[in-house]
């Protein structure tokens, strides 16, 4: 019985130590969509990021003379919140406004030098408010245009290789009473010069 009590207190302690806010954020889903599909792409759990898209419209682009174009890719997050004290429901004072995010790419093979093995990490701005019982869903930029014009992604234009990365995204926010809150999620991204339809 004592061992069970220690385990329960330890797990509650981990949640309690995640900042001073009485609530914590939960990522319900984290998905991505390729930017080079003319709006036809759907969000999914794996992002296939095309480093170069051959565009056939509008003029002067045509099927016989396509225009090589770089598109940014979008991410979509659904975030909710929960009370650290499960006996107390979150109130309006606990609303959390997310204002920025950080994206960092890693590879499973351990080759993680930014600008050599993976794209550079970056920070972005986004605004979404999470209220009790309601999940906030919002889009954000997960792969920047410039990343596809820098090493190592620019080399994929002439190279059939695929670079597999995990993007770790941390969202930062603050509740109404001024407590800082953050939450991190991950998504698989496959970078390559995929075929254009």
Query: Does the pLDDT value for residue 135 go beyond 70?
Result: yes
Determine the CATH number of domain 2-192: 2.60.40.10
Q: What average pLDDT score do residues 140-168 get?
A: 96
For residue 100, which of 167, 28, 174 has the smallest C-alpha distance? Answer: 174
Question: Does the pLDDT value for residue 8 go beyond 60?
Answer: no
Q: Are 115 and 141 in contact (CB under 8 A)?
A: no
Ordered by start, the domain boundaries in the chain are 2-192
User: What global pTM score does this model have?
Assistant: 0.86
Which contacts (CB < 8 Å, 24+ apart) does range 136-140 have?
136/78, 136/79, 136/80, 136/98, 137/76, 137/77, 137/78, 137/79, 138/76, 138/77, 138/98, 139/74, 139/75, 139/76, 140/74, 140/75, 140/76, 140/77, 140/101
The band of 12, judged by pLDDT with boundaries at 50, 70 and 90, is very low
Q: State what percent of residues in the chain have pLDDT above 90.
A: 69
Q: Which of 190, 165, 176, 184 is nearest to 77 (CA)?
A: 184
């Amino acid at each position: 019985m004592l061992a069970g009590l220690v385990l329960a207190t330890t797990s509650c302690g981990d949640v309690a130590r995640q900042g001073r806010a009485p609530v914590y954020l939960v990522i319900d889903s984290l998905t991505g969509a390729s930017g080079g599909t003319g709006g036809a792409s759907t969000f999914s759990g794996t992002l296939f990021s095309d480093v170069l898209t051959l565009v056939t419209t509008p003029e002067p682009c045509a099927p016989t003379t396509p225009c090589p174009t770089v598109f940014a890719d979008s991410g979509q997050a659904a975030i909710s919140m929960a009370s650290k004290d499960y006996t107390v429901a979150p109130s309006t004072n606990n609303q959390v406004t997310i204002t920025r995010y950080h994206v960092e790419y890693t590879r499973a093979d351990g080759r993680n030098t930014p600008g050599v093995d993976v794209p550079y990490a970056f920070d972005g701005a986004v605004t979404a408010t999470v209220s009790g019982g309601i999940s906030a869903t919002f889009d954000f930029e997960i792969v920047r245009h410039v990343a596809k014009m820098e090493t190592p992604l620019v080399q994929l234009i002439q190279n059939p290789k695929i670079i597999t990365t995990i993007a770790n995204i941390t969202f930062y926010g603050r509740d109404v009473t001024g407590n800082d809150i953050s939450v991190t999620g991950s998504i698989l991204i496959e970078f390559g010069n995929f075929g254009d339809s």
